[in-house]
Homo-oligomer: A and B are copies of this chain.
Amino acid sequence: MYKILDRDTLPAYLATIPEVVAVLGNEPDPDILEIGDGNLNFVYRVTNPKDPSRVVIVKQAVPYLRMVGEEWPLGRDRMTYEIRALQLYNELVPDLVPTIYHADEEMSTLVMEYLGDHIILRFGMIDGVTYPHVAEHIGQFMAETLFKTSAWSMPSEERRQLMDRFTLNAELCKLTEEFIFTFPYMEHDSNYSNPATDQWARENIHTDTHYKLDVLAFKDLFVSKADALLHADLHSGSLMVNQTESYVIDMEFAYFGPFGFDVGKVISNFLLCCTSHLHRPGGADYRAWLIDQIDVIWTTFATRFNALWLEAGDSAMLIDGLLTAAEFEQLREDFMVELLRESVGFAACSMARRTLGIAGVADIRDIDDLDIRSTLEISNLQLSKQLMNERNALSSIDDLLALVRHHYEQPIL
């Protein structure tokens, strides 16, 4: 039966789980530190005081929004979907996600590997740290998880059975529908406010019919296109990294959605960081590094996705004998161009949302000077509009990189 764990009850709970005892040891009084900085859940680091290398992370969902409190109820079912996604990711990409020691859907609790040598990528990137492998790891993660849960890989019935395990992650899907695809494009109480940015948005976003209808087309894809199991919240805050390793965390938004959503969200977070480095010392070099990483992310993703496609046998979508090798090659080429364009459209939505909506990124929001911040915010909105408007003219990652580099070479307002 579900109950909320705390420092007092956590040791007894963990002591009942042999897989956890095997890691932590038999320790009646472990050190417990609440380390959650996320919005939704409680996260504890539990350590054996006699041997600090014996350590686990305990993550539990409570039936309300942690950052607000009990007055904002939020079903703890979200942990069910995080558990299911992380279990699947442990099969598909074991080197890129934390190891699970114990998963308990009824208790909405996960006990998993502690990543002590890693930091949240976003904070490293704000500090201008380069990570030689992270882009490759992100591309690999997306290729493996998206391709292998899609109809290009799975048989039809197995795929629908997998979909069925995520269909009811409805509450978190609704958050995305509203906070990414709706509120930022209108006057809404939940939106962030910064006077100069607000005015620019009123004149250039809220009244731009073409852009808003494009955003709605991407909302429609998010709502209705079930290409693959998405992480659905993949950004620089969902990655724990160091110089050699990268781990994807926080997959409570997981559901079947459009291929381009994870890809676009990741790209947008590199762009948002790039904008923030317009303002930081030595920014030009780091901006160049960030844009290069978008290249590596896409190229790794596309190359691996393509390789998996060539290795795949019969699937829901394709069976042997339907296409010639040349036809299959053309299909893959056309597909990747469309997927790039779709990703760019989602990146555009993500940039606008992170600029105008309640959930900004620390890269920008942590800048105290409102005028500087507003200049960067407007630059983000300009780029969002340009990405959305020009996406269908892009035929390759080089086209995208040229657009982005040109944007960052312009003087900002």
Contact = CB atoms under 8 A, between A and B. Distances in A.
A156 B168 contact: no
Nearest to A207: B324
A155 to B, nearest CB: 8
Contacts of A219: 317
Contacts of A167: 160, 163-164, 167
Interface string A305-319: 000000000001111
Q: Which of A156, A173, A185, A323 has the most CB of B within 10 A?
A: A156
Copies of this chain present: 2
Given A156-B223, A186-B321, A212-B327, 5 more contacts: A157-B174, A160-B168, A188-B321, A224-B226, A226-B226
A301 B160 CA distance: 30
Nearest to A320: B186
Interface string A158-186: 00110110011111011001000010011
A216 interface: yes
A160 B182 contact: no
Contact of A319 (B173, B182, B209, B330): B182
Nearest to A75: B157
B168 A223 contact: no
Contact of A151 (B151, B186, B224, B324): B224
- Lowest 7 A-B CB distances belong to which pairs? A160-B170, A157-B170, A156-B174, A164-B167, A151-B223, A186-B322, A209-B327
B177 A316 contact: yes
Given A182-B319, A319-B182, A330-B213, A168 B173 contact: no
A323 B181 CA distance: 13
Contacts of A318: 216
Contacts of A322: 182, 185-186, 212
A292 interface: no
B164 A209 contact: no
A161 B317 CA distance: 26
A157 B169 CA distance: 9
B224 A225 contact: yes
Contacts of A330: 209, 213
A402 interface: no
Interface in A212-240: 212-213, 216, 219-220, 223-227
B323 A212 contact: yes
A55 to B, nearest CB: 37
A331 interface: yes
Contacts of A169: 160
Contact of A223 (B186, B224, B317): B317
A344 B4 CA distance: 54
A371 interface: no
A187 interface: yes
B317 A220 contact: yes
A160 B75 CA distance: 15
Given A216-B331, A224-B225, A224-B226, A173 B160 contact: yes
A334 interface: yes
A145 to B, nearest CB: 16
